[in-house]
Amino acid sequence: MGKSILLDLPPQANTGSSRRHPKILVLAIFLYLALTASLRPSSPYSQMSASLPITMLQMIGSHSDSQANQYTFSRNPWPFPQLIHTTNWEKPKGYSKGWAPGDNSILAQMYRDRLPTWLPETPPAGFCKWLSSNQSNQVDREVGDGDTGHVCHETKVDGMFYNPVNDPLRITNQDEGILDILSDAFRNGTVKIKHVALIMLESTREELFPLQQGSDIHNIILDTHKGRKDGGDINTLLSQLTPVAEKITRKSVCWKRTNGSDLAKVPIPEWNGATQDGYGGINVIGGFAAASLSLKSLAATHCGVWPMPVDSFQESEAQSYQPCISQILHLFNQMKGSKSFSNDFLEQKWLTAFFQSITDKYDRQDTSNNEMGFEEIVAKDVLEQRAKARSDLEEINYFG
């Protein structure tokens, strides 16, 4: 009888709660979105709250034209006005144009209005900020010869013109003379530079490769183990982290227990190597990377631009506020005239090229390389295309 009663129940008796479930789900999703939107950190930390796969897809995905985007800049007051007071201003000296940051800086205005005597009538890309006012009224202006195809973009509107005289953070040695040893070599003409190679290497913090006892990161690790039962053995564990790094760099780390006694060396497999005792990998004492992201360091090295404190390679979306090395060499080429060949290598034109064995499609590096003005760019896609003609070439697992 119990079963027949259950079967005879009207169907609408069990639908009330089921109909409420979608409403509750929609309400929960709405509340979640409202909560996450209100708690989402402000720029430049907004990407920290994004899911990792989505952030990676944004880096690899396509982006709009770097010069088509229009950015709104806000004027923020300098937080240390006492440091840029007029009493701290520096007058022009030598090649230095002075240092006078402020709203009423005559020196900054003089630099803003100057037109360098060495600037060609048709400047190449990278030097467009010195265009006269009537020329800069154009949004885009073709510059240089037809082979480069670079475009000179607007830089002098709305006061957005980088002025080193008005830069509170600028540090320069242009007011000092050239080092004597270099000055003598340049004056005597004994230095004949025909090729310039700028090699960039990946690096890591010295105190982490290998991990060193007494370093800042080691002390931070020790602080996290204070009061724990295994705190006395933490150095024993840490000493086993980077023995291979000690072998590669030839930097020996003598680990000690918390009581001061020496820890035994961690045995590692030996390999045949021609490296002499005491020599290892490149170890630069006192060297610093321009940024923690390789592509930001690339822009800083080639163009001298300050890395932007934001996630990803956003520098590729903005115009460099000063010329890059390849653009400077192209300016030299323009000054040499139309000579195609000369026995005197000083009259020969520079050919700028960029080489790397991996892809340049990650995080808009290819866009940045083109903006820098390289005439020849060789990356993984070019290597793969050229390797098709050689069937005997084997791809090796080399990443870097």
Domain ranges of the chain: 2-60, 81-166, 205-286, 289-387
Q: What pLDDT is attached to residue 7?
A: 47
Whole-number Å distance between alpha carbons of 166 and 352: 32
pLDDT at 66: 41
pLDDT value for 395 = 72
- Crossing angle of helices 294-303/365-372, nearest 10°? 0
Question: What does the alpha-carbon distance between residue 370 and residue 360 come to, in Å, rounded to a whole number?
Answer: 11
Which amino acid belongs to residue 39? L
Torsion of Cα atoms, 276 then 281 then 287 then 289, to 10°: 170
Contact between 123 and 129 under an 8 Å Cβ cutoff? The reply is no
Containing 141, the helix (H) or strand (E) segment is: strand 140-142
Q: What is the mean pLDDT of each run of 10 residues along the chain (400 residues)?
A: 47 56 84 78 58 61 46 64 90 88 86 85 81 50 45 50 86 84 83 87 84 89 78 80 84 81 81 70 78 90 88 85 91 78 78 91 89 91 84 67
3-state secondary structure of 8: coil
Residue pair 126/108 in contact (Cβ under 8 Å)? The answer is no
